[in-house]
Structure formats: C-alpha cells, structure tokens
Amino acid sequence: MTKRFGFTLAEVLITLGIIGVVAAMTMPTLMNSTQGAQYKAAYKKALSALGQAVTLNVALDDSSFADTVAGTAGSTADASGVPTVASILNSRMNVVKTTKGDSSTSTGVGYTITDAAVPSATKLSQDAANTTLFFNDGITFTFPATSAACSSGTAGTTDNICYGYIDVNGAKGPNKVVSCSNANATAENCVAENPTDVYPVKFYNQTVLPNSPAARAVLYGK
C-alpha cells in the first residue's frame, strides 16, 4: 500500500496564521521605508530643479536670485520689468498653479502644514503674504513674496539670504516638516531616519540649499 505524505488542514492554517502575523509586523516598517525613500528622492530632485532653473535664467537673461525685487503674493509676473523670485522660476519651470498663503495658518488658500514650528520661522512668515508655486510633478515651493535681492558672498555687501520650503508632494499629506529622529540632536549629529515631505531651504544667487539639520541630514546622509 502506497503512503501519501502531506499537510493537514490544521498545519496549513497555523502556517498561514504565522505568515500573517509576520507580515502585519513588517509591512508598516517596509511601507514607511519605501515612502521615506520616495520623499528623499523627490527632495533631491526638487533642489536640483530649482538650482538648474536659476542657472538657466542666468545663462539666458543674465539674472539670478540676487537680481530680483519684491513681488506680489500669488503672482509670477515681473515687477515693473524687473524679475522677482516667482517670475524667474515661472519662466524656467513648469508651474501649473500659484496661490497665496500656505502653511500653519488657515487662510483659505494654499494648504495647511501640520507643524507650526518651521525652522527659521522668524525669517519665513507663515501667512497670506507667501507665494506657493505648484509644479507639474506635484512638488511645491513656498517663500515670502517679498523675497528679493537674495545674495551671499559678495565682497563689501551684506548677505541677504532668502528662505522658503519645499513640499515634495504638495497638498497631499502628511504635510509634515522633516525633523531629527535622534534624541538631543544637534546640527552635527542629526539623523533623519523617517524622512517626511516638507523641507526648509535657503536660496541666494544661483544656489538652493537645505536650511535645517534634518533637511541636511536627508540630503547628505546615506
């Protein structure tokens, strides 16, 4: 008589139950890691695109962020024929929408950032005076409309660095400013293990750089 070997129904159910428990424990971590990698890649892409846009403008129109004058919130037009930050980016990037306001205040325009404590808050007002540019890839860039003559490093002049922030997925959540994940983090040892979607930046001349320890950690970390 031939013997047939196999699994009983109970054994199969127990195995499936174990697989389910393991999957339930690991899937959230895997999803967070994947999403964090997407945020990180989009952030690097946005920094590069903004830098390339102003560099292209220098090549074609001979004007950088240092040559700008204050604009009007929500407007991407030149001011009396002189470029603004918004008009430079609008002319060199695919801007599909522009709004006033943005951030932790509910102004009825733009959208809301959940974190009220944005780095360099004293330098980046969070109200309807901000301009938010929406690009065709879903990324947004927000900055005070009054940003002008954004420059640094010119001999005999005072630095006038401008500030804003990038949201790599626009109005879509979580709209949370990136932060250090390690306790008692400093500018030197900050670790951002779980990148989020909002990144403070500073910009001047032809340069766009991260403007918080966590934003730098995401950009320069492994």
Spatial contact of 205 and 216, defined as CB atoms under 8 Å apart: no
Least confident of 81-85, 110-114, 149-153, 159-163: 110-114
Q: What is the mean pLDDT of the chain?
A: 82
Least confident of 59-68, 115-124, 201-210: 115-124
- What is the structure's pLDDT at 5? 64
- pLDDT confidence of 40, banded at 50, 70, 90? very high
**How is residue 110 annotated by DSSP?**
S
What is the percent of the chain where pLDDT is above 90? 40
Size of the chain in residues: 222
Tell me the average pLDDT across 81-86: 94
Q: Is 40 helix (H, G, I), strand (E, B) or coil?
A: helix
Q: Residues 6 or more apart from 156 whose CB is under 8 A from it?
A: none
What is the band of 69 on the pLDDT scale with cuts at 50, 70, 90? Answer: very high
* Of 174, 173, 147, 176, residue with least CA distance to 162: 147
- Kindly report, residue by residue over 104-126, the tens digit of the pLDDT: 544 445 666 655 444 444 445 45
Q: What is the pLDDT of residue 54?
A: 96
Cβ neighbours of residue 44 closer than 8 Å, sequence gap 6 or more: 219
Question: Could you tell me which residues are beta bridge partners of residue 164?
Answer: 201
Give just the sign of the alpha carbon dihedral 54, 55, 56, 58: positive
Question: Is it the case that residue 20 has pLDDT exceeding 60?
Answer: yes
Residues 161 and 210: their CA atoms lie apart, in Å, by: 12
pLDDT of 202 above 60: yes
